[in-house]
């Protein structure tokens, strides 16, 4: 994305006006950190936990509420 596209996108998301100059300054500030993060070594394994539930209506003490089961 261009700097102006980023400014427009942030304006649409957060309904605020950000100058292209500010986007450029922030981008320049974090560029080294982003490059370091992209070239970091990766672990051989990563733990992954999946959570799954179905939301159902349950009557409890006369009140109906949705709960994850």
What is the number of domains present in the chain? 1
Contact 54, 69 (CB under 8 A): yes
Contact 32, 40 (CB under 8 A): no
Encode the chain (69 residues) as per-residue pLDDT tens digits.
Answer: 899 999 999 999 999 999 999 999 999 999 999 999 999 999 899 899 999 999 999 998 999 999 998
Contact 4, 20 (CB under 8 A): yes
* pTM for this entry: 0.52
Check residue 28 and give its pLDDT.
93
- What is the C-alpha separation between 3 and 65, in angstroms, rounded? 46
Q: Number of C-alpha atoms within 13 angstroms, CB side, residue 53?
A: 8
For residue 27, the enclosing domain spans 3-68
Check residue 35 and give its pLDDT.
95
- What is the C-alpha separation between 42 and 30, in angstroms, rounded? 21
Residue 7 pairs in a beta bridge with none
């Amino acid at each position: 994305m261009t700097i102006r596209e980023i400014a427009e996108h942030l304006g649409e998301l957060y309904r605020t006006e950000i100058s292209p100059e500010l986007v450029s300054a922030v981008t320049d500030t974090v560029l080294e950190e982003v490059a370091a993060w992209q070239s970091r070594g990766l672990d051989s394994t990563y733990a992954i936990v999946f959570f799954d539930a179905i939301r159902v209506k349950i009557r409890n003490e006369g009140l109906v509420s949705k709960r994850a089961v």
